[in-house]
Amino acid sequence: MSEVKKINIALLGLGTVGTGVYKVLKSQQEEMPCKIGAELVIKKILVRNLEKAAAKVDDPSVLTNDWNEIIQDGEIEIVIEVMGGMEPAKTYMMQALAAGKNVVTANKDLVAVDGKELLDMAALNQKDFLFEAAVAGGIPIIRPLKQCLAGNHLSEVIGIVNGTTNFILTKMTEDGMEFADALAMATELGYAEADPTADVEGLDAGRKVAIMASIAFNSRVTFQDVYTEGITKITATDIRYAKEMGCHIKLLGVARNTEGGIEARVHPMLIPSTHPLAAVNDSFNAVFVHGDAVDDAMFYGRGAGELPTASAIVGDVCDIARNIRFGCTGRISCTCYKNLPIMKIEDVRSRYFLRMQVEDHPGVLASVASVFGNNGVSIEKIIQKTKRGDLAEIVVITDSIEGRHFDDSLKIFASMSMINEISAVIRVYGHS
């Protein structure tokens, strides 16, 4: 073999993911020259606490708490950002790209908001900015959407892209647990953060939907464009009724390219037990893609964690290393060349599952049907489930309808004395 090129890397951060990247690069050190024709060398690692970080590395001399040692080092060709957060991560990445360095990140928060700015800076300097690990951890989905499926007109990307909520819903489904108990278990096992808001309210998944939709449909979608609704209102009763209907409840990230524009949304959904996504349990993630040529494809695996995320990051590093070898960095820049409208959630069509507590006397079901009919909502089925004293519980499944018409009906129900409580509103999977 001819002389192997040495490619120097700087790692920004040595937390959970950063440590995983360090481990993977070290474990692959001997094989990398054969795999990519280059030796990958970690030259610098930026950390806050030098003493604490020293226990995690073989050679503490690579550690620094001075960004200038990295940005001013002309030998460093790849910067891996695993610090998280918006700043100083964005500043460091912009400066690295401007200085002619390639950048890899797992920072979904930043990519979902400022991805275009970073991609434009990379293109300006003919460098690579890659972020496979920003969505679904170790599952390859960014590269397939951007490259492998480029021969398709993609119409739909739907996925379970948050492991915490999927774990919670799995426990509620399999063990009959209520949300609070399942969340407590997820926290105890390390699946949920001390503050789980971003996960359980759908914000984490929303950022990932923004990224996937932008790439899949070649049109800019930001996190602010994504409708988000979490799982905090889902109960064991909802799960039980879903089972009776042959469905599972999953928190789904949905991106669709329709005639009316792009649908970008995250919310719980009843999905048929026969659908491949229904079988995705615990902390696993999966993304289901539909294209005109490929038809249906699904990507499945671990969506978070030290080593799965590191796997995606190192994959990007290897891609860049090959580009460096052949002098072709910056091959693929931002592909958002369209300017498609984003649909408002009230314009999106969906079927709905509605559970209500109503007075148990004749004429109530007819009144409910009348309200829906007056608002243009067709009912697929209406079932009286249980009685408790003077109250009865009913479940209504609607046909596909624009959200605004369903919401108008809910407002009327809320004002009707015969309706004691609107207990649950959950969308039902299906094409409009």
Q: What stretch of H or E contains 272?
A: strand 261-272
User: Helix, strand or coil for residue 318?
Assistant: helix
Known binding residue 13? Answer is yes
Q: 108 among the known binding-site residues? A: yes
Sort 69 into a burial class: Cβ within 10 Å, 0-12 / 13-18 / 19+. middle
**389 is an annotated ligand-binding site residue:** no
Query: Does the annotation list 20 as a binding residue?
Result: no
According to the annotation, is 118 in a ligand binding site?
no
Q: Record the tokens describing residue 393, joined without a space.
A: 């519980």
CA distance 260 to 345: 12
Which positions are catalytic? 208
Q: Is 91 annotated as a binding residue?
A: no
- Residues 284 and 303: their CA atoms lie apart, in Å, by 6
CA distance 266 to 260: 18
Angle at 347 between CA 345 and CA 351, to 5 degrees: 80
Please indicate if the annotation marks 237 as binding a ligand. no
CA distances from 78 to 56, 74, 132 (A): 21, 11, 15
Tell me how far apart the alpha carbons of residues 76 and 52 are, in angstroms, rounded to a whole number. Answer: 24
Distance from C-alpha of 93 to C-alpha of 417, rounded to nearest angstrom = 58
Which residues line the annotated binding site for L-homoserine? 193
Binding residues: 12-19, 108, 193
Which parts are annotated binding residues for NADPH? 108
Annotated binding site for NADP(+): 12-19
